[in-house]
Chains A and B, each alone.
Chain A
């Protein structure tokens, strides 16, 4: 059974650019959550999608957005990149209950570096 796949694994972007990260959940999973991990702020929840609808949202500026497709794959977009957006972005998938259910599986993340 394939795990959660995040692409790309590494990315380098310039300030002011925009970036799109992709997350393919485990087959049959309908919930996808995104987290940002930085040395300073630690792990912070971005948003969660379930059946193509945003079910929950963290406290991030509007430059961070996401969507989920009918096949449950999810993308997150960051516009007008800032140096502080450099982070490991983690995606988690679960059947229905989200990360709080204890049934979620995480991908290996996308390491974004903004220069």
Chain B
């Protein structure tokens, strides 16, 4: 069975602070895909990144960066110089096959960025 744990339920930061959202996963599959989604108050899930299990390179996209470490089964997400617009719930997710829609989601981390 697959499992995703986001231990941080809620994080509050002040604008311009850096913040890291933790994600730890469990799977017996050797091939799998990891995701991060953002859910703003409007409700839709916004795709941020997908990473397959064979690509452990860290990725940076603007203020966002992701650290994937298979040795610790973690896929952490860092926002640099946070902004108020980053306030949302962030979900980490896992699937065994990119052709599946059966993502296993973590419970999410609510990020509140205050001015």
Contacts and interface: CB of A to CB of B under 8 A. Distances in A.
B101 A48 contact: yes
B35 to A, nearest CB: 7
Contact of A56 (B45, B102, B106): B102
A7 B107 CA distance: 25
Given A42-B108, A43-B91, A100 B44 contact: no
Contact of B98 (A42, A44, A102, A108): A102
Contact residues on B (Cβ < 8 Å of other chain), bracket = 20 to 34
A99 B99 contact: no
A31 to B, nearest CB: 7
A109 B40 CA distance: 12
Interface string B62-78: 00000000000000000
A90 B35 contact: no
Contact of A42 (B42, B99, B105): B105
Interface of A: 3-4, 31, 33, 42-45, 48, 55-56, 58, 88, 90, 92, 97-109, 111
10 contacts: A31-B101, A43-B103, A45-B101, A58-B102, A98-B100, A98-B101, A100-B97, A100-B98, A100-B101, A102-B35
